[in-house]
Structure 1
Amino acid sequence: MRTVIFRSIAPFLTSLMVLFSIFVLLRGHNEPGGGFIGGLIAASALAIYGIACGVAAVRRAIYFHPMALSAFGLFMATVAGVLSVFASVPFMSGLWTYPVIFGVELALSSVLVFDVGVYLVVVGAIGSIALGLEEGDRD
């Protein structure tokens, strides 16, 4: 399904879906959403781009190998859990800090680090599967 219209629209649709996936990721620990759903949306965007423009274009766009993204996400999620042990609270407890940057108080948490890790794991794993299926389909 490599029509001219689909190839023309796919980059815009992909960028819009990735932007929406980041929105879902960032609002996830307060409302419905989070790393898993955001990662599925981003992986779907990569799959759409791969169908329209080919696997080589997707691999150039994401820069890193999908399984490397997944491994780094797993590392981030693990670090988010281990941080609580160093703070003498139960494993995977949420830790919050409120730094003031340019006069604005910013709430940072280990929960967000965990969500970003899950996001990267899902994007990497599902993206790797989708790209593998797409490569196998072209043969």
Structure 2
Amino acid sequence: MNSVILQIAEKYIRWLLLFFALTALLRGHHFPGGGFIAGLLAGLAVVFRSLAYSEEKVFRDFPVRPVTLLSAGLIMILLSFLPAWLTNRPFMTGVWVKPVLPLAGELKLGTPLVFDTGIFLSVTGVILLFLFSLKIPEKWK
């Protein structure tokens, strides 16, 4: 499409979708489903951009290829299993660290956040792979 209204709206809606994706990702490491929903929202932001502009432009402007996102996500998922294994805990047990930051205070970080981030990257990569392979098939042959 080449709608000026859609292109202007896309600039604001994209950042709104990415903000909600980040919010869902960071909320999700305390509650189930954060990485998957965040990946869907981030993928939707790119799909909406491809509706406003051409898929070729989105493909050219996107800094990372979908297969790279998918691979990085799978590696992060596998890395989230290591801390439990190294500390002789059951498989996929959450391991938490609580570093104290000077201005923010105590920050609670753990393997569920790494796992959710891996899910986020994998889901976003799959959505982009579907989008680009359906709309620009000659790039994937």
TM-score after normalising by structure 2 = 0.88
Q: Which residue of 1 aligns with 2:72?
A: 72
Q: Which residue of 1 aligns with 2:56?
A: 56
Q: Tell me if structure 1 keeps the 8 A contact 2:21–2:41.
A: yes
Q: Tell me if structure 2 keeps the 8 A contact 1:50–1:131.
A: no
Structure 1 gap ranges (5+) = none
Deviation at 1:64, TM superposition (A): 0.8
SS in 2 for 1:122: helix
Q: Which residue of 2 aligns with 1:83?
A: 83
Deviation at 1:80, TM superposition (A): 0.2
Q: Which residue of 2 aligns with 1:122?
A: 123
Alignment of 1:1-139 (within 5 A): 1-31=1-31, 33-102=33-102, 104-136=105-137
Deviation at 1:60, TM superposition (A): 4.2
Q: CA RMSD in A?
A: 1.5
The superposition leaves residues 96-117 of structure 1 with CA deviations (integer Å, 9 ceiling, x where unpaired) of: 0001111511100000000000
Q: Tell me if structure 2 keeps the 8 A contact 1:47–1:131.
A: no
Deviation at 1:124, TM superposition (A): 0.5
Q: Tell me if structure 2 keeps the 8 A contact 1:70–1:123.
A: yes
Opposite residue 131 of structure 2, the aligned amino acid is A
Structure 2 gap ranges (5+) = none
Q: Tell me if structure 2 keeps the 8 A contact 1:85–1:91.
A: yes
CA distance in 2, matches of 1:38, 1:95: 22
Runs of 4 or more, structure 1, over 6 Å off, are none
CA distance in 2, matches of 1:12, 1:132: 26
Percent identity over paired residues: 35
CA distance in 2, matches of 1:134, 1:10: 19
